[in-house]
Amino acid sequence: MAAKTPILNELSRYCRYCLEDKRVTEYEDYISGKAHKWACWRFLGDIERAKKKDCQFYWDEAEAKKIVDWFALLRHTKGELAGQPIILNSWQKFILCQVYGWRKKSDKRRRFKKSFTEVARKNAKSQMESGVALYEIGPEAARNGEMVETYTAGTKREQSKVVFAEAGNMLKGSPLLQKFDVRSSRITCKATKGELKPLSKDDGKSGDGSNPALLVLDEYHQHKTTEFYDLAMGSNSKEPLLMIITTAGMDLTYPCYTTEYQYCKKVLDPDVDVTNDEYLIDILELDPEDYSNLANLEDRRLWHKANPVRMTYQAGIDKIESDYVIAVEQPEHMTAFLTKMLDIWVQLKKDQYMDMGKWKECGGELPISLEGAPAYWGFDMSAKLDLTSVALVIPYQTDEVDETGAKKVRYWQQSHSFIPNEERLREHIIRDKVPYDAWERSGWLTVQGTQIIDQAGVMKYVIDFSKEHKLDVKCFCFDPANAGKMMMDLDKIYGGAIPIEEVYQSHRSLNEATNGFREQVYDGNVVHEENPLMNYAMSNAVVRQNNGMIKIDKDASTKRIDPVDATLAAFKLALYHQFDEEDYSSYVDSFLDDMLGVG
């Protein structure tokens, strides 16, 4: 068996070593992060699945060997190995041989239509993408009898040309060079007429390149939208392939993190019931416990988890070492080191309000019954044409007790937003570069179909939700800007039975709520609905300081923070909820005393 399938056996051994964190030498160390171990488990499981008659795919050793042999005909373009044949290491084979080795029984075509690989920088990402691109317009196009289109796509044309240029350079000194016509804007295989071209930003918007046999998304973490990603959906090729290779980034609102990374982790995680047999995934990152204390990074062995190529030779290790020394001595460079060198997603924003990793950890299902729950509604009423948001904060007691013997209090948070019409929706999509249309379809956003924000519609949503779920509404909490009429209307509807409080937008008024809500999140005492619009707003929020006090800076953010403002308005009053008092007036008095500095 070993003689018949040497690549399959090499990959099986590689996976076992990774699962064991096996160390052979300083340069050959298989220590692996959790996500990569999941990918290894998946591969070993697929081998067992393929032995069953009802399995829809099989391993083709010959096809796996072809891609290895192809790379050996190409040449390294940089460093000490420049000009030498490219000999793939076991990790590179783990990715590329799976793309071409797994086949569908029904038509013998490739099993995988998409691949997502996340790894630290300078681990031969562009080399792998370029070699695949050349293979697709050459041998694969010939096998399928197609004149294929393949494209590389970066956020700028210069980025798109990185993979394109690498492909041209890899042909220099290669016996394959005479088989290709290399020009400044395209590479053409002479035999198949298949072409490789870099795309520009305008191509993504116009839909040019919408029939790619291969679409390479380079450094997807930099892409603000899914414009290029969506081009792959229109492919009519016999064996289309969307190939994403990226490093972690510094903006947790971009689609690579919010959508693809999260989905891919779920597919890999054996404890999550999400499967996709047509998506090849590998994520090489450090685990949270590796960097929760940055002093742990002194253990250089951990660096192998994200650097399957760079940590295999001394020059590569030395470069990571020198960057680490700089990051330790100059902490402002640590975020870049974590993302680029260790493939760790870190939000980078000056004066950012929330650690988005901690915020994400608090997402979950509603932990209590809403019926009879004490409810605090927060409102951030926009100008007539902008986004408007309402937020619900519900304090509830748990069975846990604190050091004083009192029951611990936690907070449920959810929000909903409104926009007047489809025209404004499209304007926001273009300006903010986020999928408001998808959020509207998923129920997180209401398009009212009016010329301006319909405050009566916003009020009806809150009243109807409160009645439907039988909430015990304790207070309506308003940023008074743009909200005067609505406050009077609510007071009239409820006949003064439910207090309506103004939460002024000063440092003194908002400091406690702004600090307090964040502290509760960091302590794990907030559970919030998994609302992508709310997550986007939270990632945008920055703070302004004044005499040691903070508040959310509305002027500093050009992106939406309305759901955050509504949440903090509600939390300002929810913070004073007294579970052992039926009379609301006592904790309203506490709130007012605090605001006025009394007591």
| Sign of the Cα pseudo-torsion (138, 143, 145, 149, in order) | negative
Average pLDDT value for residue range 565-573: 95
List of long-range contacts for 275-281, beta carbons under 8 Å, 24+ apart? 277/56, 277/57, 277/111, 278/111, 278/112, 278/113, 278/114, 279/112, 279/113, 279/114, 279/115, 279/116, 280/95, 280/98, 280/99, 280/112, 280/114, 280/115, 280/116, 281/39, 281/42, 281/115, 281/116, 281/117
Q: Residue 46 gets which letter from DSSP?
A: H
Q: pLDDT at position 457, please?
A: 93
For 91-120, what is each residue's pLDDT tens digit?
A: 999 999 999 999 999 999 999 999 999 999
Average pLDDT value for residue range 513-529: 95
Average pLDDT value for residue range 530-557: 85
Q: Residue 536 gets which letter from DSSP?
A: H
Q: What mean pLDDT value characterizes the chain? A: 90
Average pLDDT value for residue range 285-292: 94
Q: Where are the domains of the chain?
A: 6-288, 289-342, 369-590
For 461-476, what is each residue's pLDDT tens digit?
A: 999 999 999 999 999 9
For 24-60, what is each residue's pLDDT tens digit?
A: 999 999 999 999 999 999 999 999 999 999 999 999 9
Q: pLDDT at position 209, please?
A: 47
Q: pLDDT at position 79, please?
A: 83
Q: pLDDT at position 593, please?
A: 65
Least confident of 167-181, 253-267, 282-296: 253-267
Residue 73 vs residues 69, 162, 166: alpha-carbon distances, Å: 7, 20, 15
Question: What is the Cα–Cα distance from 504 to 592, expressed in whole angstroms?
Answer: 12
pLDDT at 556 exceeding the cut of 60: no
Q: pLDDT at position 280, please?
A: 98
Question: What is the Cα–Cα distance from 388 to 418, expressed in whole angstroms?
Answer: 5
Range 6-288: architecture per CATH: 3-Layer(aba) Sandwich (3.40)
pLDDT at 584 exceeding the cut of 60: no
Whose structure tokens read 């930099």? Answer: 222
Q: Give the rounded percent of residues in the chain with a pLDDT score beyond 70.
A: 93
pLDDT at 559 exceeding the cut of 80: no
For 3-31, what is each residue's pLDDT tens digit?
A: 688 999 999 999 999 999 999 999 999 99
Cβ neighbours of residue 97 under 8 Å, at least 6 residues apart? 7, 11, 64, 67, 68
For 468-515, what is each residue's pLDDT tens digit?
A: 999 999 999 988 887 778 888 888 888 888 988 888 888 888 999 999
Torsional class of 163: left (φ above 0), alpha (ψ -120 to 50), beta (otherwise): alpha
For 211-229, what is each residue's pLDDT tens digit?
A: 899 999 999 999 988 888 9
Q: pLDDT at position 1, please?
A: 44
Residue 588's pLDDT band (cuts 50, 70, 90): low
Average pLDDT value for residue range 359-373: 93
Average pLDDT value for residue range 298-324: 97
How many other β-carbons are positioned within 10 Å of the β-carbon of residue 1? Answer: 6
pLDDT at 402 exceeding the cut of 60: yes
SS3 44: helix
Beta strand segments in 235-284, E: 241-246, 279-283
For 125-162, what is each residue's pLDDT tens digit?
A: 999 999 999 999 999 999 999 999 999 998 887 878 88
Whose structure tokens read 């007429």? Answer: 193
pTM of structure: 0.72
Q: pLDDT at position 429, please?
A: 85
Residue 362's pLDDT band (cuts 50, 70, 90): very high
Average pLDDT value for residue range 261-266: 92
Domain 369-590 sits in CATH at 3.30.420.240
Q: pLDDT at position 27, please?
A: 96
Residue 582's pLDDT band (cuts 50, 70, 90): very low
pLDDT at 207 exceeding the cut of 80: no
**The pair of three-digit structure tokens given for residue 324, joined into one six-digit string:** 């680490």
